[in-house]
Chains A and B, each alone.
Chain A
Amino acid sequence: MASHGLSEFWTNLKRLPRTFRASLVRHGQTVSERSRSQAVFGNLFLHIHATRTHIRSLRFSTTLAMGVATVSLFLILAATGILLMVYYKPSVEAAYASMKDIHYVVPTGRFIRNIHRWAAHLMVISVMLHMCRVFYAGSYKAPREFNWLLGMGLFVVTLALSFSGYLLPWDQLAYWAVTIGANIAASPREVTDALGITAYFDPGGFIRQILLGASEVGQEALTRFYLLHVMVLPIGLAALLGVHFWRIRKDGGLGRPATPTPAGKGAAAPGTPPSRPDEAPRKTFGLMCVVRDSTPATNLDPADTVPSWPYLMRAELVVFMATMLACVVLGLLFDAPLTEMANASVPENPAKAPWYFLGLQEMVSYSAFMGGLAVPTIVVLGLSLIPYLDREPEGANGALRGPGVYFSGPRGKRVALWSLVFGGVMAVLAVAVPVNFGWLRSWFPTIPQLWIILINPATLLTGAYALWSLVVLRRTGSTRMGAIALFTCFLIGFVILTYVGSELRGPNWDFFWSSSSWPVH
């Protein structure tokens, strides 16, 4: 009996790798369609994917790979960020020294920090490009309105993450960028001052105090920004990201034009394309989820879909590897900046915010409140409302070819092109006129501040863009065209102002055609 138990133990030990694998992976070899489906829905991490993917979703031109690139960058940032936290000390006395340690002493510290920095910049770019792609493809249309809103939330959180990380090195760059940022948050004071009510009602001062925990950037601010950067915002981002992914599936995958469905099994009755989500066929899926809109499994020829395992996984892996390669190459070639230690008496000259805020800084150089707070709020609100204000159905009447077709067809392409020209000219004017001729205060030195707050290049530019999109809306009679006009204007405005802020502004925020002509001290 004893020897029988021993031999059984021995057999089990020999079989351990096989039995462990069987307990881990509950499907066999992924050779059949069924086991491939199981590979996706039987895995906690993979089951955010549908088991089958439309071939159109796999094409590079459909997504420009920007969504997956953004997620990849978030993963890279989380991994490198955790590594940096091993050595970083969030205290005013020790922060800068620990950055120096990470750069010069810690094994691979410099490389890891470089990757973290460049991945953060790339993530801001990829989030913006992802937003452009979704917008121009018209993929914010019903039933995907709410997912666009979630995307806007992710965009804001990404910027907040990037900005909160900016303070942590505690160098001059960090200190003055955050001083400026905190004072922009306090800029409602500019309005309350002009109205003379700051003593009774001071929302600006309140926001700054919550943000900094003091009246100036110091240890309290560093603690708060650290908390935001490593805890609050990443958790918030991850939560939003989860819902964002989940909605992609529940809203019927990536937006794509309705294709004529061959009559057959599961096909909708001809001539009744699902225009509203309520009318869309609802099919109880294998996992008892009711899916809106056309999913790979409903209303479409199964020949247009492929198993997500391995095709979608492979595509995502390729994008992830490419993203990582870009970060590694950037990290090897360029060092993340680290200027002198923060000094509260000597500002950097010029003191520049991170590049994606330099367009704002350009507008801020006329009015802190309008350029730094009011216009950005209007832009973010306007972007968020796009899917609720433009509800024109795509692909129904033939005028719009989407969703999933860039610019909804040739007419949208023309509108986008003209808006690019108009928006570009206006943005250049908004910089060129004040640079060459000055602004209200140069003409009327005693003008009340309220006029300058109301009428400045930032507000005029926003007004011109709004007007242009109304003109387009009237002439085309299409809200989608109006939306394309507005979005394109803001896009080119952002690009031009960011370029001016980063390249053409020098000491004292004066205009220079190149940084080689900056005055030498």
Chain B
Amino acid sequence: MPNRLEAEPVPRRDFLGLAGLWTAGVAILGSLLGMLRLPNPRVLPEQSSRFSIGHPEEFAAGSKRILPGRNVEVVSTEQGIAAVSLVCTHLGCIVAPTPEGYSCPCHGSRFGLAGEVRGGPAPRGLPWLELSRAPDGSLVVDGKREVPPHTYFRG
């Protein structure tokens, strides 16, 4: 005689039915999550973030040059050479050089000569990019690797 205070056991049919329902639910949810992995690319379809900009001698001290199609300005000073990204840190527009530094056409961010924030909505200064030397002696900029501002590359 079962105790009346004990919970009634789940009938076998109900148990199997519920188990089937939950299995189906978990399977559908799992498949959906698995399918959502597809739109997240594992390989980015773009050119390498590292690119050669030529030999250091081509950049005379005191000169500035914007590399066409790369949105990077190469600044050459007595202390060495640096590469500054021209992509605004606010919403990704391309900043234009001005006598005081850089200004962004989209939302009016202004940067100083070293890319530091002078005004507008930009949350941080323009990134300085890592420079290195390739085996053939030319300079290589890595658009994905930042260095602290005022880090100049010397021979």
Contacts and interface: CB of A to CB of B under 8 A. Distances in A.
Pairing of A with B: yes
Interface of A: 176, 179-180, 182-184, 187, 190, 193-194, 206, 209-210, 213-216, 218-220, 224, 344-351, 361, 364-368, 438, 441-442, 449, 452-453, 507-510
Contacts of A345: 68-69, 71, 94
B73 to A, nearest CB: 12
B45 A179 contact: no
B117 A180 contact: no
Contact of A510 (B69, B92, B108): B108
A365 B121 CA distance: 5
Given A214-B44, A367-B121, A367-B123, 5 more contacts: A344-B69, A348-B105, A351-B93, A368-B123, A449-B124
Contacts of B68: 345
B44 A180 contact: no
B124 A220 contact: no
Contacts of A218: 45-46
Contacts of B90: 183, 368
B44 A176 contact: no
7 contacts: A183-B92, A184-B91, A206-B40, A344-B94, A345-B94, A365-B107, A509-B108
By size class, the interface of chain B is: 20 to 34
B103 interface: yes
B104 A508 contact: yes
B125 to A, nearest CB: 11
B106 interface: yes
Nearest to B92: A183
A368 B94 CA distance: 16
B39 interface: yes
A479 to B, nearest CB: 36
B106 A441 contact: no
A351 B124 contact: no
A449 B94 CA distance: 21
A507 B121 contact: no
Nearest to B44: A214
B119 interface: yes
Interface string B47-59: 0000000000000
A180 B39 contact: no
B106 A351 contact: yes
Given A347-B105, A348-B105, A441 B119 contact: yes
Contacts of A441: 117, 119-120
Given A347-B93, A367-B121, A214 B46 contact: yes
B124 A350 contact: no
Interface in B80-100: 90-94
Contacts of B40: 206, 209-210
Contacts of A351: 93, 105-106
A184 B44 CA distance: 20
Nearest to B39: A210
Contact of A215 (B44, B105, B106, B119): B44
Interface in B28-66: 39-41, 44-46
Given A364-B121, A449-B123, A508 B93 contact: no
Given A193-B124, A214-B45, A350 B91 contact: no
A402 B34 CA distance: 48
B119 to A, nearest CB: 6
Interface string B100-122: 00011111100000000101110
B123 A193 contact: yes
A190 B92 contact: no
Contacts of A438: 119
B44 to A, nearest CB: 5
A347 B107 CA distance: 12
B120 to A, nearest CB: 7
Given A180-B92, A194-B123, A213 B104 contact: no
Contacts of A214: 41, 44-46
Contacts of A224: 39
A368 B91 contact: yes
A11 to B, nearest CB: 57
Contacts of A364: 91, 107, 121
Contacts of B107: 361, 364-365, 509
Contacts of B91: 179-180, 183-184, 187, 364, 368
A206 B37 CA distance: 12
Contact of B45 (A219, A368, A509): A219
B11 to A, nearest CB: 32
Contact of B106 (A180, A209, A220): A180
Contacts of A179: 91-93
A291 B70 CA distance: 64
B119 A365 contact: no
Q: Which 6 A-B pairs have the closest CB atoms?
A: A349-B105, A509-B108, A365-B107, A183-B91, A183-B92, A347-B93
Nearest to A349: B105
B94 A347 contact: yes
A347 B121 contact: no
Nearest to A508: B108
Contacts of B92: 179-180, 182-183
Contacts of A442: 119
B32 to A, nearest CB: 15
Nearest to A224: B39
A176 B45 contact: no
Contact of A508 (B46, B71, B105): B105
A340 to B, nearest CB: 15
A507 B103 CA distance: 11
Given A218-B46, A345-B68, A508 B103 contact: yes
